[in-house]
Structure 1
Amino acid sequence: MLRSAPFVAPVAAMVALLTGSPAAAWSGMGHRVSGMIAERYLDSRARAGVKAILGVESAAEASTWADFMRSDPSEFWQKTASPWHYVTVPDGKTYAEVGAPPEGDSVTALQRFSATVRDRNAPLADRQLALRFIIHIVGDLHQPLHVGNGRDRGGNDVRVEFFRKPTNLHAVWDDDLVENEGLSFSEKAKWLSEKITPAQAKAWQTADPLVWIAESQALRDATYPPPMPNAAPGTVPNLRFDYVFQHQGTVNLRLSQAGVRIAAYLNQLFAR
């Protein structure tokens, strides 16, 4: 689903020193894992197309740029681009039923950025921004809490502890569950890549964001810790080994699927 829509992306200047650490999607490691997996599944036209736009910059390197730039104080990065990292689909609804808000979301951003990448007359800097964002957004939509229910900002308002560290549920899925093994992104990507069977890769190769969204929505409720009976008021869940054991497989699945789908999306994008 690569519907065209006119879009001219503002070109933000790279800032030498950026501070702050805004909430993101999959940690930098998670995005790089999926980006590195994607490189294994790019066809020759997509590989050439990516190189023509990004040069020696790999999909793994490009995958984190959209989060890095969220530290830029400009209005574009602080306000305009912020909604492009997620979608909102209430319980009992589908994305097709609710659509995007006026400010846009991940789906509308993908459509616009795809049009920019395909436009050979667009400035190179705009095509670079667009391609980096596409790689990032595909990863975002595979994190279950980036398909929010509209009640708690994708789990950001759900207070929890992770091995006694105060945090929130969204951050647990963005960071802690991805990084708890202590691996480098290349180690993690290698481990996951070697476990993807040809049958799985074939089954996962859909470039339709509505499929990825529906999958994340189906996984979303299970990410919430169950109520704690007889807990004192104000007590927050302490997520420990049992929570990691329950959800590590889902994290690995979604990182692997995101890698295959980044490639599927780019293969379709550069086939035109």
Structure 2
Amino acid sequence: MKFKLLASAILLCIGTQQAYAWGQTGHRITGKLAENYLSDEARIWVMEILPNESLAEASTYADEMRSSPDEFWQKVAGPYHYVSVPKGKKYVEVGSPPNGDAVSALNSFTSTLKDPKASLEAKQLALRFAIHIIGDLHQPLHAGNGTDRGGNDVKLEFFWEDSNLHRVWDSGLLDRRKLSFSEWSEWLGKKITPEDVSKWTTTDPTVYIEESIAIRDTIYPDGDKLSWQYLYDHLPTAKQRLKMAGVRIAAYLNEIAAEK
């Protein structure tokens, strides 16, 4: 019985990891980068909701809680990490399914953050999840085509280890460089120009989705053994998406702080 329980727990953890976007390192990069572009008003507002908690720390909360037995995490929040858009379609044509998705969840959490009557606990959940969702939508396979669980069903070898396409994009590409999230954030942050910030600043999630779909349809490999060439071809795209997500998380927070 103990063995069965342990095996079940291991399988649960593996399944949960496969659904993450960017992994903890990637999400923390987006949160850390976002802190560079917060307005003074937004910085104060965020601190009021999450005292003594950085955006990097907040960014991973929605993944860390997925193993919680609470009904919200087990039966409600799962679809909030992604959208499904068939090839050749746009999100505006497909829309949100009845059980919700990343866009419907972001809209709901935004309403909570703007609601003066919402409790501090509700706003803390909403802020942490909103930061996470924006990061998710910049990972190309979190705008999945609806046929392969966002690349989880595309089994392959990445640097001679069993993996899948989703996991490669969640963490494999970044982990090959053996950098901490703070090192990544410092290096990437220096490469973001004022022109980039101006060009990337938007709080419309459908923009993030359309960009991810365009990338998604180019990253499926021809073979099932990936190593250096795939890394060389696609790591620059992953780094670009992380930078864009950081700028846009800040834009989202700045906008809400200015409106509240």
Give the TM bin, normalised by the shorter chain.
over 0.9
Match of 2:47 in 1: 51
SS for the counterpart of 1:210 is helix
Give CA deviations for 1:121-156 in whole Å, capped at 9, x if unaligned. Answer: 211111000000000000000000000001101001
Q: Give the whole-Å Cα distance in 2 for the aligned partners of 1:33 and 1:196.
A: 13
* Cα drift, residue 75 of structure 1: 2.2
Q: Give the whole-Å Cα distance in 1 for the aligned partners of 2:115 and 2:168.
A: 38
Q: Which amino acid counterpart does residue 33 of structure 1 have in structure 2?
A: I
TM-score, scaled to structure 1: 0.88
Q: Give the whole-Å Cα distance in 1 for the aligned partners of 2:45 and 2:106.
A: 17
- Alignment pair present for 1:93 and 2:80: no
Match of 1:148 in 2: 144
* Cα drift, residue 196 of structure 1: 0.6
Q: How does 1:44-193 map to 2 (within 5 A)?
A: 44-193=40-189
Q: Give the whole-Å Cα distance in 2 for the aligned partners of 1:222 and 1:254.
A: 15
- Any gaps of 5 or more consecutive residues in structure 1? 1-18, 229-236
* Cα drift, residue 213 of structure 1: 0.4
* Cα drift, residue 269 of structure 1: 1.3
Question: Quick one: which of 248, 252, 255 aligns to 1:265?
Answer: 252
The structure richer in helix per residue is 2
Match of 2:34 in 1: 38
- Any gaps of 5 or more consecutive residues in structure 2? 1-11
Q: Share of identical aligned residues, percent?
A: 56
Is the CA contact (8 Å cut-off) linking 1:83 and 1:104 kept in structure 2?
yes
Is the CA contact (8 Å cut-off) linking 1:159 and 1:169 kept in structure 2?
yes
Question: Quick one: which of 247, 265, 268 aligns to 2:234?
Answer: 247
Any runs of at least 4 consecutive aligned residues in structure 1 with deviations exceeding 3 A, and if so which?
Answer: none
SS for the counterpart of 1:161 is strand
> How large is the RMSD of aligned CA atoms in angstroms?
1.0
Is the CA contact (8 Å cut-off) linking 1:201 and 1:260 kept in structure 2?
yes
Q: Give the whole-Å Cα distance in 2 for the aligned partners of 1:165 and 1:72.
A: 29
Q: Give the whole-Å Cα distance in 1 for the aligned partners of 2:41 and 2:112.
A: 17
Match of 1:3 in 2: none
TM-score, scaled to structure 2: 0.92
